[in-house]
Amino acid sequence: MGAQKSIHAGRAKIDVNVDFTHKLCTSLMFPTFRTDKCWFGWSLYVGSLCIKHPNLFGGSEKLDVSWDKGLYDSNVLVAFRRPRPEWRPQQCFFIQHSLSPEIGVHGTPYDNFSRSGSGGVNLSKLAVGLDLSEPASSKWSSTTSVKFEHVRPMNDEGRLITRDVDGFPVTCSGNTHDSMVVLKQESRFAKANDQGLSHFSMQIEQGIPVVSKWLIFNRFKFVASKGVRLGPAFLLASLTGGSIVGDMAPYQAFAIGGLGSVRGYGEGAVGSGRSCLVANTELALPLNKMTEGTIFLDCGTDLGSSRLVPGNPSLRHGKPGFGYGFGYGLRFKSPLGHLQVDYAINAFNQKTLYFGVTNLASSS
């Protein structure tokens, strides 16, 4: 449920949106019951607050403040945008703070790798930076950003930590925090028509050595997708990969496994490494105007790079480093949003049932 309120302050209007929603959660941290080796997520209260000011100083400056709160995570974002000519890059100054469990790397897999439990490591991140969005030309768009990021690992009691439960460092510096200045470039290509779609994105991040103890690294990630209509059906294939060189904290590793990666596994239960490669294929067939049926095949690998992650958390937790999952699912369109149900089987013949809700309707 949600509520919206518009407040007029002089010549400006402030929009306030509040939303408290029962959101189906597929996170493997929140089990409730089990039937025939299938795990079900449960409903969690998720709260969000959004405040928008479209004319902060009388010159069409925009201020957005958003707050999202889950059961174990939270995120606060403050963004300020100044008007600029359309032919010039659009600027956005932002401050963001988030707190969330780090499951993908430090989580412990169990039940034949179909689930991941908390490893007792949580990340508190503070970021301050600037985004520059270039004017879109044809089907290409790009964004450049620079930010300062301060990362502090915590245990489940909220105390700062330098080592995990096995005594291995959780930061690159060896202290209770890591600091870095990151320059990021992202380019995107998108093309769609009645016969299919093509999408490609590339992200490159460079850690800048402003201070000698700050992290210096280069990290890149790409996503390539191709969709083709086959009569009434639609075939979508995607390939995701990435790598990181230079300084690295364990939490920066690529986590493989889970919904959005390799279904049939818990979050990060396939592996976590300096490099990764994940392939997804899904065939969707409409059953009626509101429902689609799908079959899918996912596979992923850390390319043998898990041993290069500091502390080698993947090996310590017995993750295989390669995995595949296949199954079928349903997609529903409803007033609440797009509902997703997937039934997946992994390489160990473990069955997992996923629920998900995307594009939740709001009052905005």
In a domain, 34, yes or no: no
In a domain, 363, yes or no: no
Q: Strand, helix or coil at 267?
A: coil
**Domain with 186 in it: what CATH number?**
2.40.160.50
In a domain, 33, yes or no: no
Task: State residue 19's pLDDT score.
Answer: 55
Q: Which residue range forms the structural domain that includes residue 156?
A: 1-27+41-357
Q: Which of 302, 267, 325 is nearest to 119 (CA)?
A: 267
In a domain, 343, yes or no: yes
What would the two tokens of residue 124 be?
């508190």
In a domain, 197, yes or no: yes
What would the two tokens of residue 28 be?
């493997």
Out of 10-19, 68-77, 147-156, the most confident range is: 147-156
Query: Taking a C-beta distance cutoff of 8 angstroms, is the pair 78, 106 a contact?
Result: no
Task: State residue 22's pLDDT score.
Answer: 42
**Could you tell me the pTM of the whole model?**
0.85
In a domain, 362, yes or no: no
Stretch 55-82: mean pLDDT: 89
Query: Taking a C-beta distance cutoff of 8 angstroms, is the pair 23, 44 a contact?
Result: yes
What is the secondary structure of 1-65 as a DSSP string? Answer: -EEEEEEEETTEEEEEEEEEEEEE---TT----EETTEE---EEEEEEEEEEES-SSSSS-EEEE
Stretch 247-253: mean pLDDT: 96
pLDDT, tens only, 186-230: 999 999 999 999 999 999 999 998 988 899 999 999 999 999 999
Reply yes or no on whether the pLDDT at 136 is more than 90.
no
In a domain, 36, yes or no: no
In a domain, 32, yes or no: no
CB hemisphere CA count around 361 (13 angstroms)? 8
- Give the total number of structural domains in the chain: 1
